[in-house]
Structures are given as structure tokens and as C-alpha cells.
Amino acid sequence: MFMTILPLALVDGISYASLLFLVSMGLTLIFGVMGILNVAHGSFYAFGGYAAATFLPWVAMYTDSPWLLMATLFAVALIVGAFMGGILEIVFIRHSYAYDPVLKLLITFGVFLMLEDVRGLIWGPQPYSANEIVQSMGNTELWGITYTSYQLIVVPIIALLAYLGLSYFLSRTNLGKQTVAIIHNREVAESQGINAKKIGLITFTIGAVLGAIGGALSAPTTSLVPGSSADMIVLSFAVIATAGLGQISGALIAAILIGIARSLAVYLAPDLEVATPYIIMVIVLIIRPNGLFTVAQARTI
């Protein structure tokens, strides 16, 4: 029975992990560069999803081309993420760099509460979804089971491309290398002439766009309801805590681990589905308090 369930859990788990990783990647990037645990990141996910669910059906009335629908989804997520990320960094985050980490966390929590009210004013309490793109892409059969091509192929490929693109940006581009320099030592980087404010704005915007893309990609396969942003930010925290704060590659592995474990729980122990990500996080943190992939640093006495 387990060998029959395992392929199904792998497919479901990787698809779920892909969405979770996109959001977690933006969250851990922001923390790695700016040292901020951004609770408002869940709102980027929610706004991206709701905006996609609002505009996608309208575009689908004029075309059933999956390419145009995907382009619409990405355009909406890019606009929402870039606008929200840019505004929030300039208005709230930029002035908090010198604050205690707890105060930074409280600032982002306050922003999250405000954005939740804004979301409620715009979209109300009713659920939103947009499955037109799923229908336009058809189905794919794997191991005798029929999956939507969107879930099986598109979402994991986009998550992988986003990871490769971010890795290339950080390791190969001039702005990326400046970002890495700030991650290692902000004061030294600034003394070398690097504009930390500009890098902070770019980083926060990229993180927000990744969160919005995660939300937009989830809109065709799930119902967006009030509380979706809170659920996603808590799950994302579980991923980055399991991987280690600021570990982008580690977040990929942790998201896959949590996604597959959650999928197995759905088939084998449904009562543990919701708790599974947090059980994994607690076990990891008991064994490695800094996360799976964080290298312990020597303390200065």
C-alpha cells in the first residue's frame, strides 16, 4: 500500500512544495539581506493571489490561450509585488534598520494587520479562485493517475526557474554581488561605496514579487479565503526555520521535505496533515537549533 501511495505523495508534495518555496524564498532573501523577519510577506502572497483571481477570468473571456493566461498571471503578480514591495520598503522598512530586531518584527506585523484590512475592503470575505488556466492546459497521466498539467509541470518548473534566476542574480551580476557583500557585512559594504538603501529596495521588491507570484500561482488550484495570508506566512516561517534563516538553497530542500511529508500525512494520517510541517520544524530545531543548513559561528567573548 505504501509503495502505491508514495508516487502520488511525491507528485502532490512537490507541487505543494513549489508554491511554498516561492514564498519562502522571498522571505528568506529579505531576512538574509536586511535582517528583517517580514510578517507582512504573507500579504504579498494574498494580494498576488486575489489580484490574479480577479483579472484572470476577465482575460479568459477573450482568449483560452494558456500562454496569454500565464502572461496575465505573471504580469499581475509582478505589478502587485513590485508596487507593494517598493512602497512598504520606502515608507516603513527603510527607517527601521537601526531598530532592535523585535521592533522590526512588530513593524511588519502592524503592516500585515493594515494590509489584511485593505484586502478585506477590496475583496470582502468571499472565496476567490481562477481555474481557467488549469482547464486550458489540460491533463497529464502519470502512473495511471490523471493530474492537471498545470499542477504537475508548470508550477514546479516556475519554482525551479525562479531559484536558478535568483542564484544567477546573486552570483553573477554586479547588483547581486553587492547584495551578497551586504549580507556578509553591511558596514564594510557601505564603506566600500555600496548603496545599501538601493540594495535594500531592490531586495525587498524582489522578495515581494516572489511572494506575489506564489499567490498568483496558487489561485488556479486553491480557493483564496480570509486568513490565507496568515496560513502561508506561518508555513513559510516553518520552512526557513527548518532550513536556517537566510539559507535560500536550504529553503528549497526544506520546502520539498515539508511538502512531501505533508502529502504523505494526507494519505496515511489525515489528522496530522496540518501539524506535519511544525512537527518537522520542532524536531529539526531540537537537534540543530540554527536550522539544517546554518553553519555555527564562533562567539566573541
Give the C-alpha separation, 105 to 99, whole Å: 10
Of all residues in the chain, the percent with pLDDT exceeding 90 is 45
Global pTM value: 0.91
Q: Are the CB atoms for 45 and 119 separated by under 8 Å?
A: no
Count CB-CB contacts under 10 A for residue 271. 7
Average pLDDT of the residues of the chain: 87
pLDDT score for 298: 45
pLDDT in tens, 44-63: 999 999 999 999 988 888 88
Give the C-alpha separation, 9 to 16, whole Å: 10
Residues 205-233 have a mean pLDDT of: 91
Give the cell for residue 245: 534563516
pLDDT score for 297: 52
Residues 153-160 have a mean pLDDT of: 89
- pLDDT band at 1; cut points 50, 70, 90: low
pLDDT score for 21: 94
Check residue 95 and report its DSSP letter.
Answer: G
- pLDDT band at 87; cut points 50, 70, 90: very high
Q: Are the CB atoms for 257 and 245 separated by under 8 Å?
A: no
- Specify whether the backbone of 138 is left (phi greater than 0), alpha (psi in -120 to 50) or beta: left
- 134-138, 228-232, 238-242: lowest mean pLDDT where? 134-138
Residues 126-142 have a mean pLDDT of: 82
Helix, strand, or coil here: 40?
Answer: coil
With residue 145 as reference, give the H or E element that holds it: strand 145-148
pLDDT score for 240: 93
Res 5 pLDDT > 90: no
Instruction: Outline where 35-100 has alpha helix (H).
Output: 41-60, 66-88
Give the C-alpha separation, 234 to 237, whole Å: 5
pLDDT score for 111: 93
- pLDDT band at 137; cut points 50, 70, 90: confident
pLDDT score for 301: 43
Res 119 pLDDT > 90: yes
Res 30 pLDDT > 80: yes
Higher pLDDT, 114 or 153: 114
Residues 250-276 have a mean pLDDT of: 90
pLDDT score for 272: 87
Phi, psi dihedrals of residue 264, rounded to the nearest 5°: -60, -40
pLDDT score for 296: 53
Give the C-alpha separation, 171 to 153, whole Å: 27
Give the C-alpha separation, 294 to 6, whole Å: 30
Count CB-CB contacts under 10 A for residue 32. 21
Give the cell for residue 130: 481562477
Q: Are the CB atoms for 29 and 167 separated by under 8 Å?
A: no
pLDDT score for 101: 82
- Name the β-bridge partners of 224: 128
- pLDDT band at 300; cut points 50, 70, 90: very low
pLDDT score for 97: 76
Q: Are the CB atoms for 73 and 133 separated by under 8 Å?
A: yes
- pLDDT band at 117; cut points 50, 70, 90: very high
Res 134 pLDDT > 50: yes
pLDDT score for 80: 95
Residues 149-177 have a mean pLDDT of: 89
Instruction: Outline where the chain has alpha helix (H).
Output: 2-34, 41-60, 66-88, 101-123, 132-137, 149, 155-172, 174-184, 186-191, 196-218, 228-243, 248-268, 276-287
